[in-house]
Structure 1
Amino acid sequence: MSESTKSPKIFISYSWQPIQNKNWTLEFAERLSRDGVHVIIDEWDALEGMDKYSFMEQMVNDPNIKRVLLICNGSYQAKANDKKGGVGIESMIISDEIYSQADQTKFIPIVRESKDGKACLPTFVNSRFYIDLSDPEYYEDNYEQLLRNVFDKPKSSRPPLGEPPAFITQDDPIKSQTANKLLPLINALKNNKSNTEIFINEYLDVFINSVMEFQFSEEEADRNKPLDEFVLERLEKMSIFRDEFLLLLKTYSKYSTFDTEIFHKFFENLLSRTLNSQYSDQGISDHFNFFNYELFLYFTSFLIKNELFKELQYMLYNPFLISKRDRPIEPIMYYHLNKPVYSLNKGRSERLRLNRADVTADTIKERIHEDFKFDEIKETDIMLYYVSCFQFDPSTFGHFAWWPHLTVYHTYRLPIIEKCISERHFNKIKSLFGVQDKDELKEKIEVIREKGADRIQRFHNEFPHLTNVFDFDKIGKYK
C-alpha cells in the first residue's frame, strides 16, 4: 500500500446540538471509517476523566492528524462566533492554528446547514474553501471530493510542464508577426468564440506573408557562398513556422470541427506564392520547395494519425487552382508541393562528397518534430506516392509525381495498409484510393501495373511495389 493510501488520521470538530446534528456526524464518521479513514472524535476517543479542552487542543495541534473537519451547522456557527462551550474553545484553538501555520489545508469546513442561501460558517473560516454536504443531490460527489482530499488523490492533477512553444522563445521580428496572431487564435478556439474562422484566416495570411519574407534578395542572388548553405540557413529560421502550424492543427482539431477547405485554400495560396517568388526559376527557391514538401508531409501525417481520412481525401483529390506569372489559371494536384531540391540533393552532396542517396531525406530526418516519429512521416511519404499512382497522367507524371524521398531509409512494413485486414479500417482509408470496395481496388491496381504508373526503380528507394502491397485475400477479414 502506498504512503498516500495508508489510513490517514482526521479529527472531527462538531456541535452536539441539535441532537440530529450529533447523530448525523457519528454516521458520517462511521462511513469515513469504513472508507479507510482513521477518525478521531470525542464520542469514541475522549474517555471519562480526560480534560476535554486539553483533548481538543491536543487533536488540533497533533502533527499526525492530517485533516481537521469542522462540521458547520447553525449551532456550530453561533458557538464559534460567541466563543461559547467546547465549540468556542476549539474555534479559538483552530483559528490560532490557521493564522499561525503555513499549511492551512489541514482545516476543512464541512457545511451541514445553510440559511437564506448562505453556508453556516463561523467567521474565522468564512473566507475559506469548503465542502458542502448539506444538499442530498450533490452529497455523493462532494463526499468523494472530501475522500480524495484526505487521501491526496485529486480527480484531476496538474499536467507535467512542457517546453514553451518555439514562437515564445524566438526574438525574430518576422516570426513575432505570426505569434501575435497565433495566441489570440488559440484563445478563440479554446473558448469556442464565434469569430474563430476570421482569426484562422488572418493567421494563415500572415503565416504565408512571413514565409515569403525569406525569399532571396537581389544581393543574395549574387551569392558569395554555396547555395546549399543559404538554403539550410533559411530552413533553420523557418522551422518556427512549421512548429506553429502543427500547434495550430493540434488545437484546431481538438476544439473545432475540421474544415478542410480552410487548409486546402492555405496550401493553394502557399503554393501559388512560392511558385511565383522572384527567383523561382533560377534554382534558388529550394528552401521554399523543401518547406512546402515538409509542411505537407506533416499535415498529411497529422490527418492520418487522427484518422481524418475523408478530410485527407479532399486534400488529395481536389486540385489547387494556380496562376503562375502571366499564365492562365491551371489546376494542379498536391504533388506539386513536392518539387526537387537540387541544391541539397545534387549541389551539397557533390560539393561535400557526402555520398548520400538523398540529402533532402536526411534533412527531414534531422529536423523531425518531437510530436512525430520518423517512421510515421516515412509511411506518409509512401502513401502520398501511392495515391499519386492512382492519379497517373502519362503527359506529366514523369515530371511531377510525388517523389517519396524518405524511402531511401528502407521500408518493408506499412501499418496503415496492414490494418486493412480490419473491414472497419479498410472502409476508412479506401477513399484515399478512390474506390468503393476491394474488388475495385484490385482492378485499379491492375491498371496501374499495365500502365507502369508505379515507375520508381527500387535502387536507393526501397519500399513495396503497389502491386504487391495489398493482400486481397485478407482485406476486410475481420470486422
Structure 2
Amino acid sequence: MSEQVEAGSEQKAFISYAWSTPEHKAWVRRLAERLMEDGVYTILDEWDLKPGHDPVHFMEQSITNPDVTKVLIVCDRVYKEKADCRAGGVGTETQILTPEIYRKTDQGKYAALVTEVDDEGQAYVPTFYGGRIFIDFSNPENEEEPYEELTRWINDAPLHTRPKLGKKPSYLGKDEAPLATASRFRRAKEGLERGSAGASGLIRDFGEGLIEQLIALRPPQTNSQSDAVPIDEAVVLAADAMRPYIKQLHELTRSIARSAPTAFDDLLSILEQVLSTTDRDPKTNSWSRATFDANKMMAYEAFLGVIAVLLAERQLDLIARALNHAYYYNDPNDSHGRSTKDFEEFDQYPESLQYRNQRLQQNRVDWQADFINEHYQTGTPSFARMMEADLLLFVRRPVSEPGRYISWFPRTLIYSGRQNSAHELFARMESAQFFANVSQKLFGSVRAEDFKERVRALNSERLWRGVYPGPSIGSLAGIEHIASRL
C-alpha cells in the first residue's frame, strides 16, 4: 500500500475475494475500477500487493487500518468453502475478519457482496458472516441496482433517510389542553371533506362552540387600570387565547372553499355571530369598553383571514358574497334602527391598544398589525395573503362606489414598506380578461381606466401619521399594468 490516497478522496475500500476463476477475478477488477472512477479509493491485491510484500501483513493492514472505511467481502462458492475451512489466503483473511466483525461496535465497515447462489437460491456467504444483510450481485443482468446500493453504503448516502424529528402534537402536552371546540371542529371538517349531508349542522355546531369561547375568554369586566394586569395586557392575553379558535374558523373556510361551497351561508352566519361579540349584550349591566376589545381584534382577524383564505383558493364568487352580505348585528348603540351591517363593521379598532403605547413607552404604529404579522407567519392563511386581503378590502368601496366614505383601514399594509410589486390578485389583473372577471364580481364592473384613476386617488392619502414613505397603494395594486395584456 505504497500509493497515497488521491487528494479529495474521502472513502477508502478494501476488496477481499477468492481467486475462483479468471472470469471472477476479472469481475472483481472491473468492480474496483468502477469504484475508483466513482471516487472510492480501492485497495486490490492485483494493484497493491507487490513482489517482496508480506501477504499476511498486507491483508491485516488492509482490514484493520482505521483509514480503510469499508471492507467489501466478495462471496461466491469458492470463497465460502475456503473461509469455512480456513484454507489459503481467504482462510487467513477470515481469521483476521472474524474478530474484527464481532468486536467492532461500528459494523457498518463490512458488507458481503454475493456473486453466486446455490441450486436453491441460497447465497454463498461464509459462516463467520452469519445472517447479516448482504448486497446481491448474483444476477449479472441486473447489476446497476446493487451497484447503486453499494456506492450509497460506501458513501453513507442511503436512498431512504430518517426524517427530522419533530415536536409532539400539541394535544399531547401535559400543560396544554386541547381547544374546547376540537371535536366539533374535527367533525365539521371531516363532514365537509366527505360531502356529508349533515355537514351544515356540524358547521353550525362548531360556530356555537366558537362563540361560546369568544365570550368566555373575554378579559374581566372592570373599568380599573390599577389591577395587577394592565387592561391592555389583559386584552392582548385574551386575544391570544381566542386566536386558535379563529384559526380553526380559517381552516374550516378552506375546507368549505375546496369541498362544499354550498355551505358558505353557514360560514357567513358564523361571521355574523363573531361580529355580535364585539359589543355588550343589552341585558349586561357591568361592563367596560375594554371588555370587548379582544373580540374586536378577533372580528378583524376573522374576516380578514376568511377573505385571505378565499383569495388563496381563488374563490372570487365566495369573496363577492362575503363583501355583499348584509351581516345581521343587533347593535345596542345604533340609534338608526338598521339591524344589518356591511363588511367594514368587522374593522373596529380596540381603544385599549392606544393606551398600550403610553404604558410601554413605545411608539408602535399599529399594534393590531404587529399581532397579525407575528401570528400568521406560518399556517393558513399566510401573512402575505392577509396583506392582499387588506388591500382588496381597502380599495373595494372607493373603486366600486366612488365618493363613499372609506371605512376599512388596511392595517397590515404598514409591513409592505417600500414594496413596489403588486399583490397576486392585482398582478393577475394585468390580463384584461382576468381584470374584467374580477371587476364584474368585486368592483361593480368598473372600467380599467376608472379603476386606475380611483386607486391613484387613494395613493395620495397618508394612511399613518409619522410614517414616511408610506406604502404605495398604486404599486401594491399594480395600476400601471392593469388590463395591459389580453
The structural deviation recorded for 1:97 is 1.3
Mapped partners of 1:85, 1:366: distance in 2: 72
Asked if 1:470 is matched to 2:474, the reply is no
The structural deviation recorded for 1:63 is 0.7
Q: Residues 353 and 31 from structure 1, CA distance in 2 versus in 1: closer, same or farther, beyond 3 angstroms?
A: closer
Q: Tell me the percent identity.
A: 24
Asked if 1:70 is matched to 2:70, the reply is no
The structural deviation recorded for 1:30 is 1.2
The structural deviation recorded for 1:11 is 0.3
Mapped partners of 2:46, 2:166: distance in 1: 50
Q: Residues 404 and 423 from structure 1, CA distance in 2 versus in 1: closer, same or farther, beyond 3 angstroms?
A: closer
The structural deviation recorded for 1:100 is 0.9
* Aligned partner letter, 1:107: Y
Q: 1:94 aligns with which of 84, 93, 97?
A: 97
With structure 2 as the length reference, what TM-score do the two structures score?
Answer: 0.67
Aligned 8 A contact 2:76 2:114 in 1: yes
CA displacement 1:217-253 (0-9 Å, x = unmatched): 799335755653332111233455578899x79xx99
Asked if 1:403 is matched to 2:409, the reply is yes
Aligned 8 A contact 1:79 1:85 in 2: yes
* Aligned partner letter, 2:235: V
Aligned 8 A contact 2:79 2:126 in 1: yes
Correspondence for 2:48: 45
The structural deviation recorded for 1:469 is 4.5
Q: 1:9 aligns with which of 2, 7, 12?
A: 12
Task: Tell me the number of residue pairs that the alignment of Structure 1 and Structure 2 aligns.
Answer: 450
Mapped partners of 2:125, 2:180: distance in 1: 51
Aligned 8 A contact 1:388 1:402 in 2: no
Correspondence for 1:22: 25
Q: Residues 433 and 111 from structure 1, CA distance in 2 versus in 1: closer, same or farther, beyond 3 angstroms?
A: farther
The structural deviation recorded for 1:24 is 1.1
Mapped partners of 2:415, 2:108: distance in 1: 57
Correspondence for 1:59: 62
The structural deviation recorded for 1:126 is 5.0
Q: 1:172 aligns with which of 155, 173, 176?
A: 176
* Aligned partner letter, 1:406: T
Q: Residues 357 and 261 from structure 1, CA distance in 2 versus in 1: closer, same or farther, beyond 3 angstroms?
A: same
Q: 1:291 aligns with which of 274, 289, 298?
A: 298
Correspondence for 2:335: none
Q: 2:392 aligns with which of 366, 370, 384?
A: 384
The structural deviation recorded for 1:62 is 0.9
Match of 1:58, SS state, is helix
CA displacement 1:121-155 (0-9 Å, x = unmatched): 44444543433334467533442343243334555
The structural deviation recorded for 1:156 is 6.4
**Structure 1 range deviating more: 401-410 or 65-74:** 401-410
Asked if 1:230 is matched to 2:234, the reply is yes
The structural deviation recorded for 1:471 is 4.5
Mapped partners of 1:22, 1:369: distance in 2: 61
Mapped partners of 1:173, 1:218: distance in 2: 18
Correspondence for 2:221: 221
Mapped partners of 1:368, 1:428: distance in 2: 28
The structural deviation recorded for 1:359 is 3.3
Q: Alignment RMSD, CA only?
A: 5.6
Gaps of 5+ in 2: 1-5, 282-286, 332-338
Q: How does 1:371-450 map to 2 (within 5 A)?
A: 376=384, 379-386=387-394, 388-389=396-397, 392=400, 402-408=408-414, 411-417=417-423, 433-434=439-440, 442-443=448-449, 445=451
Mapped partners of 2:127, 2:387: distance in 1: 65
Q: 1:361 aligns with which of 358, 369, 391?
A: 369
Greater radius of gyration (CA): 2
Match of 1:406, SS state, is helix
Aligned 8 A contact 1:72 1:121 in 2: yes
Aligned 8 A contact 2:14 2:62 in 1: yes
Mapped partners of 1:101, 1:196: distance in 2: 59
Q: Residues 322 and 458 from structure 1, CA distance in 2 versus in 1: closer, same or farther, beyond 3 angstroms?
A: closer
Mapped partners of 1:467, 1:41: distance in 2: 68
With structure 1 as the length reference, what TM-score do the two structures score?
Answer: 0.68
Match of 1:290, SS state, is helix
Correspondence for 2:284: none
Gaps of 5+ in 1: 189-193
Q: Residues 271 and 476 from structure 1, CA distance in 2 versus in 1: closer, same or farther, beyond 3 angstroms?
A: same
Asked if 1:144 is matched to 2:148, the reply is yes
* Aligned partner letter, 1:341: Y
